[in-house]
Amino acid sequence: MKIAVVGATGLVGTEMLKVLAERNFPVDELIPVASEKSKGKEIEFKGKKYKVVTPDEAIAQKPDVALFSAGGGTSTEYAPKFAEAGITVVDNSSAWRMDPTKKLVVPEVNAHVLTAEDKIIANPNCSTIQMVVVLKPLHEKYKIKRVVVSTYQSVTGTGVKAVQQLMDERAGKEGEKAYPYTIDLNVIPQIDVFQENGYTKEEMKMIKETNKIMGDDSIRVTATTVRIPVMGGHSEAVNIEFENDFDINDVKTLLAQQSGVVVVDDPANLKYPMPKDAHGKDEVFVGRIRRDESQDNSLNLWVVADNLRKGAATNAVQIAEYLVEKGLV
């Protein structure tokens, strides 16, 4: 297959290339795409060198699939042009996620909604992806009424500029800022811009995307999203209230059986998920599994995943794998 990676020089794009190679995705020809400023730059993939091209040049080469991670503006402008040329787009930006005509997909949860007619497929927000993979088996068995989530998100979620800001601050150097405040030795309770209701856009994404992916608007979700000075992945404290009572051992079994989830839950030996351990991995790690003793039918969990892998690149590649496997591209 001919695969275009749009945003190939960015954090997610770089991870995308690694994931394509590691999972042995059937790439016969790679088309790395970035902005005009990177045109001609060489990218190595599976021992071969490829030259970066612009989005227009990529369309002319007619790839089968284009994996986009080049920001909302690029997706809004170019995804329809790729789609019109018959190229299936899997888009990492937020541009198409809430469009009712576009599918929003986490393969372990709702890959079955995909058809050959879907030419622009949206990859959800990183913090939503890792949460819904964990919610899915629990909702099927015990029916979720409400979710309260607080996130502890890695600077890698903001892109190369943010990683550089953290490194500059650690080295005591002046440099470009991705955040309005110092991030090193700090916690910033704002991810993306504020909305009229006082929530941030990231928080509203978690709420709306969860309902869309789970295919159930009755699940009530509230979120507080927070940036912390870590690199390996996003962490989330998730409180879930179910319609029905549950057995805590059954919850652990359901999670251990869920595809894409690894349970790390052994408090006696101080074992729980941490971003430094999730870094570079494709799975979602869950631990600190315990009853919320303040309320009936309620559970507390700690969920960690590498936001650049399962939160972005891996999920997009898994969507492409599903399309290939089912003959939808």
Interface residues with ligand NAP (CB under 6 A)?
A: 6-13, 33-35, 37-38, 55, 69-72, 74, 92-93, 126, 156-157, 159-160, 307-308, 311-312
Closest to ligand NAP by CB, 74 vs 151, is 74
Catalytic residue among 112, 126, 139, 279: 126
* 265 contacts 203 by C-beta, under 8 angstroms: no
In the residue annotation, 139 being an active-site residue is answered as: no
Locate 325 and state its tokens: 């496997």
In whole angstroms, give the CA distance from residue 63 to residue 83.
11
CB of 322 to ligand NAP, least distance (A): 18
Closest to ligand NAP by CB, 251 vs 317, is 317
Closest CA relative to residue 317, chosen from 133, 107, 119, 167: 107
In the residue annotation, 126 being an active-site residue is answered as: yes
CB of 224 to ligand NAP, least distance (A): 18
Residue count of the chain, please give it.
329
* DSSP-assigned states of every residue in 138-189: HHHHH-EEEEEEEEEB-GGGG-HHHHHHHHHHHTT-----SSSS--TT--B-
CB of 287 to ligand NAP, least distance (A): 22
Closest to ligand NAP by CB, 136 vs 205, is 205
Closest to ligand NAP by CB, 13 vs 287, is 13
CB of 251 to ligand NAP, least distance (A): 28
In the chain, where do the E strands start and end?
2-6, 29-33, 42-45, 48-51, 65-68, 88-91, 103-104, 120-122, 144-152, 220-224, 234-242, 261-263, 284-291, 298-305
Catalytic residue ranges: 126, 234
